[in-house]
Structure 1
Amino acid sequence: MPETSIDYAAVYRALPGMVALLTPDLVFADVNEAFVRGSGRSREDLVGRFLFDVFPDNPKEPESGGAHHLRASLLRVLSTGERDTMAVQRYDVESPERPGEWEERYWSPVNTPVFGPDGKVALIVHRIEEATELLRARSRTGEDRGGVLEAELYQRARELQELNNRLRQAHAREREVALALQEAMLSARRQVGHHRAAVRYRPAVGALNVCGDWYDLIDLVGGHRIGVSVGDVVGHGLAAAGVMGQLRSALSAASRVADGPAQALNVVGRYAHVVEGAESATAVTTFIDFDRRTITYSSAGHPPPVLLHHDGRVEFLDQATDPPLDARPEPTPRPEASTTFTPGATLVLYTDGLIERRREDIDTGLLRLAESLRRHRTEDPENLADIVLLELLPPGGATDDTALVVVRL
């Protein structure tokens, strides 16, 4: 069979279904003819514009939530690199001829990633089929079993929409409580003793603003010393936040009276056994002695802190790693190790949301972190924290929470 040249651009334009190409910034890169007809917008109204500027939610029916659910789906595609098939969504459309008038419409969307040469999502294929007329027609006829089923489907869609509205209201109330928890427990402390520190917290995509990750910076008794720690509780929402608060407070108290970080983690490990929801919780804590210029550390199943030396050398503090806090049924002394630093070095602690990615070895994420720190080692802690998050987190946000602490020594 002779080879033929296929004009894929012409095929794309002629596809009968509505298809749009979106950039990672959710801007229309292209649309086919069916999308132009079905949306009631011209190509000039679409291409080059932000999706939700063209199609905002119906201001008269904000509880319909179509834009909210679509945004969450697109961000999932960007962060996971996997196709996301959405349930039938209500998404009202404003009439281009009669501004201010909105038509109730139902759509079935599928969002699929297209990868670039670097392996990252370069485009999203946003394909939708309108289900409004089908549902309405079937609900009106009801003369045969198929019509009855479609009428029931239409009614179920409306019931699900009402349920979604109630869930969103409950979610909003829970979010208010979560924000209060975050402000109380994860304060944006900028200085410990005479040393500048930057702290950052980024919740997972679609999560409340506070989840299971935490950080803490405290002044230690005796000499010119501080303690810096981070931890991670499995799960999201207020339950995980409550466990996070208990473990964080316990470690903070234990660190003030312990001989070293290992002893502090020993105490918190025993406590974790009686805290429901603390299963598989991890933590790492460091005691920094500025008089001796030493860092003593211990880790309970957590990714290693990074010591960025003034000359650009990166040292992972991974010589005292043990299982998570509640892993052992009987108390066992945890390991502890020390290293030295010179003034001007930088200590970085973080949670796994910063470095872990699906289908990727964790060493790749650690190398990415080391390179970012090395390139920007002259930046002050605040700028360095922002740069690291920008370079390491996916454009649409991570699927896991991220806490980050940067301390200039």
Structure 2
Amino acid sequence: MTDPEIDYGAVFTALPGMVALLTPELVYADVNEAFLHAAGRTREQVVGHFLFDVFPDNPNDPAASGARNLLASLQRVLTTAERDGMALQRYDVESAERPGEWEERYWSPVNAPVLGSDGRVVLIVHRVEEVTELIAARGAPAGSRPRVLEAELYTRARELQEVNERLRQAHTREREVAIALQEAMLPAPGDIGHHRAAVRYRPAVGALNVCGDWYDLVDLPGDRIAVAVGDVVGHGLHAAGIMGQLRSALSAASLVADGPAQALEALGLYARSVSGAENTTAVETYIDWDTHTLTYSSAGHLPPALLHTRDGVEFLDRATDPPLGARPEHVARPQAATGFAEGDILVLYTDGLVERRREDIDTGLARLAHSLARHQGTHPEALADAILLDLLPPGGAIDDTALVIVRL
């Protein structure tokens, strides 16, 4: 017996609740019959039109905030690619039969993203439940309204909005402090030995999703440098503090270690004594220009990418081990080496660059490889900007992104 083929278009049309599909530009792509019926609009008046042209705020009410609150919710969905439920909203609607007259209406909206293959929001499902009747009189004389109940619900909705706004402001302040701390602890771009690296750090777009990532560049004896990136589990000021401790510890270990594996072993032992450092990922690469050799080791981190001048992109994935502190006992970490030619490009990065929700990581790595190949021969500084433009969502990623590019 085969599963019946489902006509999802017919299902959408027949849904009993109000549902609309919005483009990222907030234009109505489609609406179901229940939406048109409750809104008192025809399909021609809605589909293809900008949301707030169809349903503006009541111009006769200076305190009207329905459109502003809905816009904020939709922008959160576009930025975070996550579902956003709204508090009860008063959002008056102009009468279809009597233009210029506005009907007092109450709505409970939920907005949810539909993601494309690249992890970006391609549509927003805008589901609305009208609750005006709940506020209308129950058993009261005809024409009357229970003003106490109405005021109570409206006041509670406003109070909830005010609490959410205070939380948002507090989170924003924490984010600003955390970013400032992050920038103060990360090394400024510049010359490393006889060489120069292009570095970028992009904080996450969410107020709390910031400050777990770091990069580091260390000048070593001889014509060598160590390049590392890492990602602390967690976000906010606490993660930024842990990041600073681990980056400094790895920088010191790199100066005395025989290679990146030994440096990561020392960092792993140190991480056990730092609360919150468990399961941090990191990868380090030693670049030796005298022997034209890259030596690398990874503690659960994504593999560095090596863009060869002639042979495409190679991901350095032959020395990967669990994250820091993931093993109860000490075990020597693996290490591998590969050669490079003059003009090759080494790229280290954190997961914000390539990982997307509900997408296999191989898709993100393939996207990175394609971007590198497309910009072959570009100067590292311009290449860093091009990669961020190619790979990061237009509104920013929901996780930090650290990127280091070195021309070999």
Relative distance call for 1:232 and 1:36 in structure 2 (3 A) is farther
Find out whether 1:169 has 2:173 as its counterpart: no
In the other structure, the counterpart of 2:218 is 218
Tell me the C-alpha RMSD between the 2 structures: 4.3
In the other structure, the counterpart of 1:99 is none
Relative distance call for 1:44 and 1:380 in structure 2 (3 A) is farther
- Give per-residue Cα distances to partners, 1:364-399, cap 9 Å, x unaligned: 322232222122222222332233233333444434
In the other structure, the counterpart of 2:301 is 302
One-letter code aligned to 2:228: S
Find out whether 1:291 has 2:290 as its counterpart: yes
- Give per-residue Cα distances to partners, 1:206-246, cap 9 Å, x unaligned: 244732111112222x1122111000111111111111111
Rounded Cα–Cα distance in structure 1 between residues aligned with 2:15 and 2:318: 58
- Give per-residue Cα distances to partners, 1:103-159, cap 9 Å, x unaligned: 99864223345577999753333343454x456546997xxxx99988765454333
In the other structure, the counterpart of 1:72 is 76
In the other structure, the counterpart of 2:367 is 368
Choose 116-125 or 352-361, whichever is displaced more.
116-125
Rounded Cα–Cα distance in structure 2 between residues aligned with 1:121 and 1:223: 49
- Give per-residue Cα distances to partners, 1:235-285, cap 9 Å, x unaligned: 111111111111111111211222211121111111100111111111001
One-letter code aligned to 1:204: A
Q: Check the 8 A contact 1:303/1:352 in 2, yes or no.
A: yes
Describe the SS at the equivalent of 2:258: coil
One-letter code aligned to 2:73: H
- Give per-residue Cα distances to partners, 1:299-354, cap 9 Å, x unaligned: 11111111111114222111221111112233322222211111110001111232
One-letter code aligned to 1:70: L
- Give per-residue Cα distances to partners, 1:161-200, cap 9 Å, x unaligned: 2321321232132123112112202355154334342222
Q: Check the 8 A contact 2:209/2:398 in 1, yes or no.
A: no
Rounded Cα–Cα distance in structure 2 between residues aligned with 1:55 and 1:187: 49
Rounded Cα–Cα distance in structure 1 between residues aligned with 2:297 and 2:368: 20
Find out whether 1:202 has 2:206 as its counterpart: no
Q: Check the 8 A contact 1:90/1:161 in 2, yes or no.
A: no
Relative distance call for 1:252 and 1:312 in structure 2 (3 A) is same
Q: Check the 8 A contact 1:138/1:151 in 2, yes or no.
A: no
One-letter code aligned to 2:355: E
Q: Check the 8 A contact 1:66/1:91 in 2, yes or no.
A: no
Rounded Cα–Cα distance in structure 2 between residues aligned with 1:380 and 1:186: 22
Relative distance call for 1:239 and 1:118 in structure 2 (3 A) is closer
Rounded Cα–Cα distance in structure 1 between residues aligned with 2:104 and 2:199: 45
Q: Check the 8 A contact 1:65/1:91 in 2, yes or no.
A: no
Relative distance call for 1:369 and 1:140 in structure 2 (3 A) is farther
One-letter code aligned to 1:71: Q
Identity of aligned residues (%): 64
Rounded Cα–Cα distance in structure 1 between residues aligned with 2:272 and 2:90: 48
Describe the SS at the equivalent of 2:214: strand
In the other structure, the counterpart of 1:385 is 384
Q: Check the 8 A contact 1:109/1:129 in 2, yes or no.
A: yes
In the other structure, the counterpart of 1:158 is 158
What number of residue pairs does the alignment pair up?
384
Rounded Cα–Cα distance in structure 2 between residues aligned with 1:74 and 1:117: 15
In the other structure, the counterpart of 2:143 is none
Q: Check the 8 A contact 2:348/2:403 in 1, yes or no.
A: yes
Query: Within 5 A, what are the aligned runs for 1:329-368?
Result: 329-368=328-367
Q: Normalised by the size of structure 2, how large is the TM-score?
A: 0.76
Query: Within 5 A, what are the aligned runs for 1:214-293?
Result: 214-220=214-220, 222-293=221-292
Q: Check the 8 A contact 1:300/1:325 in 2, yes or no.
A: yes
Rounded Cα–Cα distance in structure 2 between residues aligned with 1:336 and 1:369: 24
Relative distance call for 1:330 and 1:122 in structure 2 (3 A) is closer
Rounded Cα–Cα distance in structure 1 between residues aligned with 2:216 and 2:225: 10
Q: Normalised by the size of structure 1, how large is the TM-score?
A: 0.76
Rounded Cα–Cα distance in structure 2 between residues aligned with 1:44 and 1:233: 50
Q: Check the 8 A contact 2:92/2:106 in 1, yes or no.
A: no
Rounded Cα–Cα distance in structure 2 between residues aligned with 1:115 and 1:261: 39
Describe the SS at the equivalent of 2:378: coil
